[in-house]
Amino acid sequence: MNQPMPILFDKASLRHHRDRAAASYADFSFLKEEAAIRVIDRLELVRRDFDLCLDFGCHDGVLSRHLAKLGKTGTVIHADLSPKFASNALAHGAAIACDIDRVPFRPSSFDAVFSCLTMHWVDDLPGVMAQMRAALKPDGLLLISMLGGNSLTELRSALAAAESEIDGGLSPRCAPMADIRDIGGLLGRAGLALPVADSDRLTITYPNMFRLMADLRGMGEQNALMDRLRRPTSRALFMRAAEIYQAEYGHDDGTIPASFEIITLTGWAPHESQQKPMRPGSATHRLADMLNSEEQDPEAG
């Protein structure tokens, strides 16, 4: 019997965080901008246009601004968990507020589905990818940019060390994020063809840990774990975490690094025109001939 999907994230809390961030998001959208640039870089390599597109987890429409400059997309429908973000995205086209664990569109609706820095908050990542694939027309493009498991490693480590030292244990403070070694296979599981997954690391320099945490609040990326502590964290714990962060990772000039891993995923809804892997035994040339070498008997001494 299939086990029910565990609920990791408190969507009401996440919606509240994103709603609160919406008013001043432009001041904190640098990470979204970086992820959007990576989406555009991949899309620029595709030699076709996409008439009807979905931006799933749109924030205030940052990605749409970049898409408009590229000139490969027509109408873009925006969707976000936050009603206030969805309202702000109306400046770039139609927008709705919806649950990020459900893609509320009819099958075969879109020529392309994009998602930029939202999918790390999804409980059922394989399920949502499968819904996105269903929403694509045949030969439609899925292009996702999301935070990976090597994000905020310094902050996670400092908070864990401080909490262990002061409280004698650990509580859920940072959202678990997918590892690229696992996430690449999800594209195939979702029924997508020609899957590609890659990642790169972005390091931002901050004057201190508290400025980093202020930026995370400005992005709407605070702790929204279902099992998080429901009481305020003591100032002493945060002060100790900042000391550990500085001691373990700080630069000589007193600043600290914050690492973000951005994973970019590409896949296509299957279509008969797409390239397919060759059947075993169908090769017309021997590897030895291609290498300009004599074929060796592996049993020969």
Contact 17, 222 (CB under 8 A): yes
Find tokens 């770039």 and name the residue.
92
Spatial separation of the C-alpha atoms in residues 68 and 103, rounded to whole Å: 23
Considering the domain boundaries, does residue 286 fall inside one? no
pLDDT of residue 181: 80
Token pair belonging to 52: 């009807």
Spatial separation of the C-alpha atoms in residues 246 and 209, rounded to whole Å: 8
Considering the domain boundaries, does residue 242 fall inside one? yes
Spatial separation of the C-alpha atoms in residues 255 and 206, rounded to whole Å: 6
Considering the domain boundaries, does residue 1 fall inside one? no
The domain in which residue 103 lies consists of 11-272
Q: Are strands 110-116 and 136-147 parallel, antiparallel or unpaired?
A: parallel
Considering the domain boundaries, does residue 300 fall inside one? no
Token pair belonging to 41: 């870089």
Q: What is the pTM of this model?
A: 0.86
Q: How many domains does one find in the chain? A: 1
pLDDT of residue 173: 61
Please say whether the dihedral angle defined by the alpha carbons of residues 91, 115, 267 and 102, taken in this order, is positive or negative.
negative
Considering the domain boundaries, does residue 52 fall inside one? yes
Considering the domain boundaries, does residue 283 fall inside one? no
pLDDT of residue 190: 86
pLDDT of residue 245: 97
Q: What is the CATH number of the domain that holds 121?
A: 3.40.50.150
Q: Where are the alpha helices (DSSP H) in the chain?
A: 11-22, 30-44, 62-70, 83-89, 125-135, 153-167, 180-189, 209-219, 235-249, 287-290
Spatial separation of the C-alpha atoms in residues 111 and 103, rounded to whole Å: 15
Concatenated DSSP letters of 5-47: PP--B-HHHHHHHHHHHHTTGGGSTHHHHHHHHHHHHHHHTS-
pLDDT of residue 290: 36
Token pair belonging to 168: 């004698």
Q: Tell me the pLDDT of the chain (301 aa) as tens digits.
A: 456 678 889 999 999 999 999 999 999 999 999 999 999 999 999 999 999 999 999 999 999 999 999 999 999 999 999 999 999 999 999 999 999 999 999 999 999 999 999 999 999 999 999 999 999 999 999 999 999 999 999 999 999 999 899 876 656 566 677 788 877 788 888 889 989 999 999 999 999 999 999 999 999 999 888 777 667 778 999 999 999 999 999 999 999 999 999 999 999 999 777 655 445 444 444 434 434 444 344 444 4
Please say whether the dihedral angle defined by the alpha carbons of residues 22, 26, 27 and 29, taken in this order, is positive or negative.
positive
Say how many Å lie between the first and final Cα of the chain, rounded: 53
